[in-house]
A and B are shown apart, each in its own frame.
Chain A
């Protein structure tokens, strides 16, 4: 719509078309008539054979002024009223008073015609003004809606505010905005205003949309599709409870607004898609970190189910593990499903997981209950829709990751499948890692067990054979030295040295045997063995060494006692060899299901590496061994130390 013209021709045209111009012209003509009355009398205009304008002629001409003023200032209707009034004023003189009634009639008619022309011009001006105002109002309406649409990218909020604005600028009472859901499988009432309370519910989907527009909630309504690039996005329905005839301009305005809303809806959707994609990528990064930071299978797989559920907003989930040899599936990891389902074992020919592991492909089931091979216990668990993806690495299938809805049916999207598949791939890697780790731990456990057995055997041999033989040798030397037979003095001295040496070797052998595997550990338990170890340290190294026991003392399993003893033994060996400590305290705390042993010294301390893997590189093999033993026993080991501040080693393991 052309609102202004800047060319000279256009300006002149506009001025000429302006009613004010003609009003001014009329007034000027009146002025001329008044000003040149005498001269005009001389003009030979034949009016019944005479040429004259009387004083009354001037009056009549002047009557145009109020008519014109009324028409422009008060509107054409007022102008018409003024003209009628002026006509009534002039009429009596024409028929009753004027000495020249014919002339008076002609003048009156002329004045009436000029007045009518003025009113017509006023009417044209008013129409132009109305059109301009309507155009401005339309632009303002579109601008207002644009402002609202660009103010937010949150679809519901944006559409509610847009609907409010549409109703405000159009003066309509009620309306609703439907939008297609992400998959184009439903129409959702995204915003509504002025509808009867309780009419809009959220659980009736498409039939609700049909009902809302056809149940005459609004007597007069306009429904417009929301489109963007010819792709439907939804619909805008606005109207009134009373009767209203919509003008073409109103429909055109609403169509323009609907197009704006359609484009804005798609923009908001695209923005949300991007935001969701970024969020998912971030979450997947966290998944990778979360999953790969765990090496224990139970923790890994429990975490996988929770993460996958969260990523696609599922209600429940499980991991089925495949036993290839038996061709069966078990469900050890469940979330939001009855615990007894974890006891179910089925053939790979059954259930969703069976299909997924057999085909190696994702499966989406909108209606799990309707699946012929669905598992009865799971149907009873109230599962509605399901998504299953294989947990697969290379060609190795470990099982399936299945996710479910419990409240209502849902069609999982391709994006959902892609996201869960990604998690499942991470899970497969984590399972492989965890199994390798478990295999390594098993291997380490076997090595340590074999090492302990060998130590035990060597300790027994040292104690039973070597030490006994040395005792026998020592006794024979004693017998020789104390015999009555004359032994030369030189030989006696040699024998005495041999006896002393034999005693030293015997003591070393016994100590070595004790260090290898103290027999008291098996016979008397952890605490007496530690007492012996600490007493020897105190006696041999002149270090003030104490043992503190907290909690109810009791015998532990041989494995637990051995682990705790070896850790304490290694810690005390470090104290003896490296700490330069003058005091060491060993504390054993018996708790419920756990035993903690703490070895603290006041020695020179050292800088503890930041990561356990750095222990080997920095030559802290003793700490590495302690850490490994604690982990193999399912426990923890921490070392606290700083140069000049002593060292504290704390080991805690679970016990029965």
Chain B
């Protein structure tokens, strides 16, 4: 699944259902910031996006750690890593 489709059809609706429009926008914005500042391909950025949401305390408090981990896996599986993808880590000191 294309990552934008995954965000729009799976992640955003789920967040809206649980947290309402305002907090959902906050979570998606911080996740997008992670996406933007992660060096790598689209898939790595998408993983950083999902991790940002699932690491948020408010999300963990609401869903519980087990459910969050399960949901993170589910969301990450929507956009699987391609075999030829090269992971480039954000350099140290880059924030």
A residues near B33, Cβ cutoff 8 Å: 178, 180, 187, 225, 232, 234-235
- List residues of A (169-190) whose CB comes within 8 Å of B's CBs: 178, 180-181, 183-187
Q: Which of B30, B42, B93, B94 contacts A214 (CB 8 A)?
A: B42
Determine whether A206 belongs to the interface, using a CB cutoff of 8 Å to chain B: yes
Do B95 and A227 touch (CB < 8 A)? yes
Determine whether A146 belongs to the interface, using a CB cutoff of 8 Å to chain B: no
A residues near B28, Cβ cutoff 8 Å: 206
Q: What's the dominant secondary structure at chain B's contact region?
A: helix
Determine whether B80 belongs to the interface, using a CB cutoff of 8 Å to chain A: no
Known A-B contacts A185-B29, A232-B33, A235-B33; the reply to A251 vs B93 at CB < 8 A is: yes
A-B pair number, CB within 8 angstroms: 89
Central interface residue in B7, B91, B93, B95, by most chain A CB within 10 Å:
B95
B residues near A473, Cβ cutoff 8 Å: none
B residues near A411, Cβ cutoff 8 Å: 21-22, 25
Chain B contact-residue range equals 20 to 34
Nearest-Cβ distance from residue A407 to partner chain B, whole angstroms: 17
A183-B27 Cα distance, complex, nearest whole Å = 12
Contact with B along A240-281 (1 / 0, CB 8 A): 000000101001101100110000000000000000000000
- List residues of B (51-86) whose CB comes within 8 Å of A's CBs: none
- List residues of A (119-174) whose CB comes within 8 Å of B's CBs: none
Nearest-Cβ distance from residue B57 to partner chain A, whole angstroms: 15
How many A residues, CB 8 Å from partner?
36
Do B37 and A224 touch (CB < 8 A)? yes
Q: Which of A223, A232, A237, A366 contacts B21 (CB 8 A)?
A: A366
- List residues of B (9-64) whose CB comes within 8 Å of A's CBs: 21-22, 25-26, 28-30, 32-33, 35-39, 41-42, 45, 49
Do A185 and B22 touch (CB < 8 A)? yes
A180-B30 Cα distance, complex, nearest whole Å = 9
Nearest-Cβ distance from residue A290 to partner chain B, whole angstroms: 32
A residues near B90, Cβ cutoff 8 Å: 223
Known A-B contacts A223-B37, A411-B25; the reply to A206 vs B32 at CB < 8 A is: yes
Determine whether A417 belongs to the interface, using a CB cutoff of 8 Å to chain B: no
The closest CB in chain A to the CB of B49 belongs to A210
A103-B38 Cα distance, complex, nearest whole Å = 65
Determine whether A222 belongs to the interface, using a CB cutoff of 8 Å to chain B: yes
Known A-B contacts A180-B29, A185-B22; the reply to A222 vs B94 at CB < 8 A is: yes
B residues near A210, Cβ cutoff 8 Å: 3-4, 32, 35-36, 45, 49
Known A-B contacts A210-B35, A214-B45, A224-B95; the reply to A232 vs B22 at CB < 8 A is: no
Determine whether A454 belongs to the interface, using a CB cutoff of 8 Å to chain B: no
B residues near A259, Cβ cutoff 8 Å: 95
Determine whether A367 belongs to the interface, using a CB cutoff of 8 Å to chain B: yes
Nearest-Cβ distance from residue A411 to partner chain B, whole angstroms: 5
A residues near B30, Cβ cutoff 8 Å: 184, 232
A549-B40 Cα distance, complex, nearest whole Å = 90
Q: Which of A185, A246, A255 contacts B95 (CB 8 A)?
A: A255
Known A-B contacts A210-B4, A252-B93, A255-B94; the reply to A237 vs B36 at CB < 8 A is: yes
Known A-B contacts A178-B36, A411-B22; the reply to A186 vs B29 at CB < 8 A is: yes
Known A-B contacts A178-B36, A185-B22, A224-B37; the reply to A206 vs B29 at CB < 8 A is: yes
Do A258 and B95 touch (CB < 8 A)? yes
A3-B20 Cα distance, complex, nearest whole Å = 55
Q: Which of A207, A223, A234, A251 contacts B38 (CB 8 A)?
A: A223
Determine whether A213 belongs to the interface, using a CB cutoff of 8 Å to chain B: yes
The closest CB in chain B to the CB of A365 belongs to B21
B residues near A235, Cβ cutoff 8 Å: 33, 36-37
A235-B33 Cα distance, complex, nearest whole Å = 7
Nearest-Cβ distance from residue A368 to partner chain B, whole angstroms: 12
Contact with B along A189-229 (1 / 0, CB 8 A): 00000000000000000110111011000000111110100
The closest CB in chain A to the CB of B25 belongs to A185
* A–B pairs, 11, beta carbons within 8 Å: A178-B36, A184-B29, A206-B28, A207-B7, A209-B35, A210-B49, A211-B4, A225-B94, A227-B95, A258-B94, A259-B95
4 closest A-B pairs by CB: A185-B25, A225-B95, A206-B32, A223-B37
User: Other than the known A186-B29, A187-B32, A207-B4, what 18 A-B pairs have Cβ atoms closer than 8 Å?
Assistant: A181-B29, A183-B25, A185-B26, A209-B35, A210-B49, A213-B35, A214-B35, A225-B33, A225-B37, A227-B95, A232-B30, A237-B36, A248-B91, A251-B93, A251-B94, A255-B95, A258-B94, A366-B21
